[in-house]
Amino acid sequence: MPKTQADAYQEFIKGLWRDNPVFVQVLGMCPMLAVTNSAVNALAMGGATCFVLVASSILVASLKQWIPKQVRISTYIIIIATFVTVTDLALQALVPEIHKELGAFIPLIVANCMILGRQEAFASRSSVSLATVDALGMAGGFLFALFSLGSVREILGEGKFFGMDLFGPEFEPWVIMILPPGGFLTLGLLLLFFSWVKERKERLAERLAETGGASL
């Protein structure tokens, strides 16, 4: 079945880059800006969100025939809240230090509109396998965005990466980057960078079209 395989690949890639939930759709920022002040925190938060997204997508896609249309949003929210509770308790038991660091922001994954959006837009109207692939792609894209944000803020704000010193003792850390304003500024600049890349690609495609694709 080469066609479905290509489809699945498309769904996966779309979440990673073209429709990246953070950089392109600007969704699910509420919990992510607060905890991305270091790469480790960003990875933990991203991992938790990924688990919740993939697990609820699988469940919603397999239960979609039995969920009445009128109460579907509440059902999705309760499914998501259940998985978040599982994640919260599991993290508390397995890695107490990270759980302490992330604090109240783990329960807030429930209100991440990206997760609810995927259930409504995709999982509720496609097969279990396709919904899983889509959720994996979106979760990967989310993790990538969180990780890049966390890395930039840790490197500039503390001069460290995963706790390793990068610049030596003369480096004056940009404290603002690990404080709240740094989160807004970094995300704003990253968005700018992404739209610049997109614009460049479009201009390149235009120029290719003008020359009639002769160079190809």
Which residue ranges make up the site for other proteins (CB under 8 A)? Answer: 26-27, 29-34, 74, 77-78, 81-82, 84-85, 88-89, 103-104, 107-108, 110-113, 116, 176, 179-185, 187-189, 191-192, 195-196, 199
Q: Which is nearer to other proteins, 78 or 204 (CB)?
A: 78
Q: Sign of torsion, CA 150 156 160 161?
A: positive
Residue 181 CB, nearest distance to other proteins (Å)? 4
Q: Sign of torsion, CA 124 62 137 102?
A: positive
Q: Which is nearer to other proteins, 163 or 188 (CB)?
A: 188
Cβ atoms of 185 and 192 closer than 8 Å? no
Residue 82 CB, nearest distance to other proteins (Å)? 7
Number of C-alpha atoms within 13 angstroms, CB side, residue 119? 28
Token pair 């469940």 in the structure block, residue: 59
Residue 31 CB, nearest distance to other proteins (Å)? 7
Residue 73 CB, nearest distance to other proteins (Å)? 8
Distance CA 138, CA 22 (A): 10
Q: Which is nearer to other proteins, 128 or 194 (CB)?
A: 194
Residue 187 CB, nearest distance to other proteins (Å)? 5
Residues across the chain: 216
Q: Which is nearer to other proteins, 130 or 149 (CB)?
A: 149
Q: Which is nearer to other proteins, 85 or 126 (CB)?
A: 85
Cβ atoms of 145 and 31 closer than 8 Å? no
Residue 176 CB, nearest distance to other proteins (Å)? 7
Q: What angle separates helix 113-121 from helix 39-63, to the nearest 10 degrees?
A: 30
Q: Which is nearer to other proteins, 74 or 129 (CB)?
A: 74
HEC string for 25-74: CCCCCHHHHHHCCCHHHHHHHHHHHHHHHHHHHHHHHHHCCCCCCCCHHH
